[in-house]
Chain A
Amino acid sequence: MALNRRTFMGATAGAAAATLAAPHVYAASHGGKPKVVVVGGGAGGATVARYLAKDAGDALDITLVEPTRVYYTCFFSNLYLGGFRTMESLAHDYGNIASAGVNVVHDYAVGVDRDAKTVTLASGDTLMYDRLVLSPGIDFIDGAVPGWDVSQQNKMPHAYKAGSQTELLKAQIEAMPEGGTFAMIAPPNPYRCPPGPYERISMVAHMLTQMNPTAKILVADPKEKFSKQGLFEEGWNTHYSGMIERIGPDFGGNNVSVDPDAMTIDIDGAVENVDVCNVIPAMKAGVICERAGLNDGNWAPVDGATMQSRIDENVHVLGDACAQGDMPKSGFSANSQAKVAAMAVRAALTDSRMFPAKFSNTCWSLIAPDDGVKVGASYEATEEKIASTDSFISQTGEDAALRKATYEESIGWYAGITSDIFG
């Protein structure tokens, strides 16, 4: 069934009435404190909820809607594949955010009625809001890789939302036959975590070098270029010589289909048998944005000064889901945008001050043990978009001590950002 906002709301209301005699309506009356509902408890949503509670907890009624009780960060999940982190070390719960005064609701947000200013949950409950913050991350575009859909994700994992998918991918790599083939179908731009697929290749190569050194890695990539390409290719030559083959669009990397039952991939007519296939399909904003009618194309456009939707000023969209300009879709970016959004929401609903929006991002990647690299930039909001103001990138040929220091810095960053997000 094709969903639009009204038919969806109607359907949900009917389903709720059938299962619950009297669905709750949180905040039924609009007396009391202004209400902020945050959808999505990742790097964007958890940060905005925590900052609002920290800075304006007495003045606002803040609800965070997140389906999972334990959140596994996508960032650093490649290091789990490489054996540098445990899955437990990537796990975060919402205890500190709840203690800070946020009403944490573990449920799916399934619809938004922007006229009534309500969010509907899968349970049938309804949340009213004065300001809504959507930070739902990404979903995959149906049919982006012919032969694959999410029902095939156990045969060909995407592992692009961390947790059980990441564990499954690692188990499949460990079970590869000697000399087998790991394939990755890389995504087209724009997508979550631009260096992510290539850090993953590095970590899989590190794994295979240890346990299955004659195995091969085959990457079908629709993009001509990718993030930190020179750094990754230098590292692959140094550490994993001869193991990795990347097929770009010139050789059909943009014309790929898969057969999960046969475990084959077809790259521009050439069929390959593979042992593990990591399909990272083309992406779009988390589906709640589409249901709320906030997308232009696949993403939800926002005004960078406040992170408000360009379609509805009562809604802010953060992180991977928004179309904002020059920032990459990353956890760091989402966390950075969340602070601007929190400041803007607080200023709109209380009498606190507005400050100029400033953003930054740094993406660290691990290529091999103690071989870390980084890329980053700073940004400001213009009328048109979030625009890059300055940038830097690690250089090829750097010495081992600097690369080690960069890796150690990334570990410090992980500790810093996760305590900034989750308290």
Chain B
Amino acid sequence: MKRLSLFCAATAILIATGAQANEFGDAEDGAKIYRKCRACHMVGSEAFNRTGPQLNGIFGRAAASVDGFRYSDGLTRMGNDGLVWDFDTLDAYIENPKAFASDTRMNFPGVKDAGERADLLAFLRQYSDKPRDIPEAAPTATPREVDLSDEILAIVGDPEYGEYLASECTTCHQLDGDNDGIPAIVGWPEEDFVVAMHAYKEKFRPHPVMQMMAGRLSNEEIAALAAYFGGLE
């Protein structure tokens, strides 16, 4: 099976925070790796919750959202905070479950090999009806995180005002693009920046500081920031 590159706005953001996964693997090979999971999980038409939740429709599903399954507090909280399973979040989780969610009840050391994880996710993807963030769906079928009108997206930002506003951002986000602990925000395509800020403003993204910072910015101010930061290398 060919490997397809993956791109969508969410991926761009995850790359900014350090995730590197961007390829799908071989579903047939993935079926063999899935044997490790079968002790606890089921997938397919007859699947039900056992020690672990059933995995049908996992792509695009909010974390900890299968009815009738008792999750750890940590995963439940992440789900409430907006964590959605897609290729990158699943990849990070199965690489090292305890590192991703320290109290997870998934008692599994993880799949360390990135190629094996890609294969496993290619296998699991077959059981998700309308998977988000997968190659076949991108780019046209990939929804934006927030519905923004053409008018908002068409606003031309004032970079000089953006530079002044940006001075609030640079208290935490470094202009040299360092992303240790706090993500880098320079050099993004302007539309990705605008979508991300509106996603915080509308509280679709879960970070409280960013919800507050974005929450008081007008559409014009968001466009101004996007124009300024987009112009930085």
Contact = CB atoms under 8 A, between A and B. Distances in A.
**A and B: interacting chains:** yes
Interface of A: 51, 332, 335-336, 339, 343, 353, 355, 358, 360, 362, 374, 376-378, 380, 389-392, 398-402, 404, 408-413, 415-417, 419-420
A358 B216 contact: yes
A416 B212 contact: no
B170 A412 contact: no
A408 B167 CA distance: 22
A415 B180 contact: yes
A401 B215 CA distance: 25
Given A355-B161, A399-B103, A401-B101, A411 B180 contact: yes
B181 A410 contact: yes
Interface stretch (B20-28, B121-129, B171-179): B171-179
What are the 9 tightest A-B residue pairs by CB atom distance, in nearest-first order?
A: A412-B181, A412-B182, A392-B208, A339-B167, A399-B74, A408-B181, A416-B172, A411-B181, A401-B102
A419 B174 contact: yes
A344 to B, nearest CB: 11
B168 interface: yes
Given A377-B212, A378-B215, A420-B167, 13 more contacts: A378-B213, A378-B216, A390-B212, A399-B73, A401-B78, A401-B103, A409-B182, A412-B172, A412-B179, A415-B174, A416-B170, A416-B182, A417-B172
A400 B102 contact: yes
Nearest to B74: A399
Contact of B167 (A51, A332, A374, A380): A51
28 contacts: A332-B171, A336-B168, A339-B167, A343-B164, A353-B161, A355-B164, A355-B165, A358-B168, A360-B212, A362-B172, A362-B209, A390-B212, A390-B215, A390-B216, A392-B209, A399-B77, A399-B101, A401-B74, A401-B78, A404-B102, A408-B181, A410-B181, A411-B181, A412-B179, A415-B180, A416-B178, A419-B174, A420-B170
A402 B78 CA distance: 9
A386 B119 CA distance: 55
Contacts of A400: 74, 102-103
B223 to A, nearest CB: 15
B202 interface: no
Contacts of A411: 180-181
Contacts of B180: 411-412, 415
A416 B171 contact: yes
B136 interface: no
Interface of B: 73-74, 77-78, 100-103, 160-161, 164-165, 167-168, 170-176, 178-182, 208-209, 211-213, 215-216
Contacts of B168: 336, 339, 358, 360
A410 B216 CA distance: 23
Contacts of B182: 409, 412-413, 415-416
A400 B160 CA distance: 41
A354 to B, nearest CB: 10
Contacts of B179: 412
Contacts of B100: 401
Contacts of A416: 170-174, 178, 182
Contact of A419 (B165, B167, B176, B208): B176
B192 to A, nearest CB: 21
Contacts of B215: 378, 390
A420 B102 contact: no
Contacts of B212: 360, 376-378, 390-392
Of B170, B173, B182, B213, which is in contact with the most chain A CB atoms at under 10 Å from its CB?
Answer: B182
Of A391, A402, A410, which is in contact with the most chain B CB atoms at under 10 Å from its CB?
Answer: A402
Contacts of A339: 164, 167-168
B165 A358 contact: yes
